[in-house]
Chains A and B, each alone.
Chain A
Amino acid sequence: AQSVTQLGSHVSVSEGALVLLRCNYSSSVPPYLFWYVQYPNQGLQLLLKYTSAATLVKGINGFEAEFKKSETSFHLTKPSAHMSDAAEYFCAVSGYTGRRALTFGSGTRLQVQP
């Protein structure tokens, strides 16, 4: 069984500030981990993914995430927030083959204040 916990349903930061969105996972097999972003009334766009290669993963739009097995975490960070980063962010996990469906966290809404 797999599960994902995203701490904080809402996160608000100032423009230019550090963004930190938290994700902890539970998986009985080596996980594949993903971060997706969703803008209102749109589908999901992949930000980055971890698939057992480098533990520090760099994604699009300046985001990165670090896989920490000992902490079962995969937190998403960005050094400097931009207004366009305001959206819903989902952490997700799948099984080692990656061919199983994704299990999503509950999501974190990021607000960026001017």
Chain B
Amino acid sequence: GAVVSQHPSWVICKSGTSVKIECRSLDFQATTMFWYRQFPKQSLMLMATSNEGSKATYEQGVEKDKFLINHASLTLSTLTVTSAHPEDSSFYICSALIAGGLDEQFFGPGTRLTVL
């Protein structure tokens, strides 16, 4: 149990286009999801905390107008990278907390975004 999926697993796009990444909790409800980004050979950095039915909370330095997060249901959060540029190329990973559960975050497999 406690499986999180991400779609797509990889995406290549042209500079200036927008890309949507989905994060789904497959067998549980998640009131809170987190979005991280990971540059090559580096650690994960929290981008934002996504709570179902409310606005996401962004970390300092993360542009909320560029990285749009929508957590419209208890099983789905989406991250849209708007007007993507090459510097946005990264590995994006989401995680989810089980509603009413304890402390463990369950991670998705990640989405590799390459912006040409």
Is B62 positioned at the interface, with any CB of A under 8 Å from its CB? no
User: How many A-B residue contacts, CB cutoff 8 Å?
Assistant: 51
CB distance from B62 to the nearest CB of A (A): 12
Q: Could you say which of B4, B32, B105 contacts A102, with CB atoms under 8 Å apart?
A: B105
Is B87 positioned at the interface, with any CB of A under 8 Å from its CB? no
Q: In the complex, which residues 13-66 of chain A have their Cβ closer than 8 Å to any Cβ of chain B?
A: 32, 36, 41-46, 49, 51
Complex Cα distance, B103 from A16, in Å, reads 33
CB distance from B37 to the nearest CB of A (A): 12
Query: Using Cβ atoms and an 8 Å threshold, which residues of chain A touch B102?
Result: 51, 98
Is A111 positioned at the interface, with any CB of B under 8 Å from its CB? no
CB distance from A40 to the nearest CB of B (A): 11
**Which stretch of B11-19, B64-72, B78-86, B106-114 is in the interface?**
B106-114
Closest to A36 in B: B107
Complex Cα distance, B45 from A32, in Å, reads 18
Q: Could you say which of A43, A99, A107 contacts B32, with CB atoms under 8 Å apart?
A: A99
Query: Using Cβ atoms and an 8 Å threshold, which residues of chain B touch A99?
Result: 32, 97, 103
Known A104-B43, A105-B43; judge A98-B107 contact (CB<8 A): no
**Which 4 residue pairs spanning A and B have beta carbons closest together?**
A98-B103, A43-B107, A44-B107, A43-B109
25 sampled A-B residue pairs with Cβ under 8 A: A32-B103, A36-B107, A41-B91, A41-B110, A42-B109, A43-B6, A43-B93, A43-B107, A43-B109, A44-B95, A45-B107, A49-B104, A90-B43, A90-B44, A98-B103, A98-B104, A99-B32, A101-B34, A101-B46, A102-B34, A103-B46, A104-B44, A104-B45, A106-B43, A107-B43
Interfacial residues, chain B to chain A (CB-CB below 8 A): 4, 6, 32, 34, 42-46, 49, 91, 93, 95, 97, 102-105, 107-110, 112
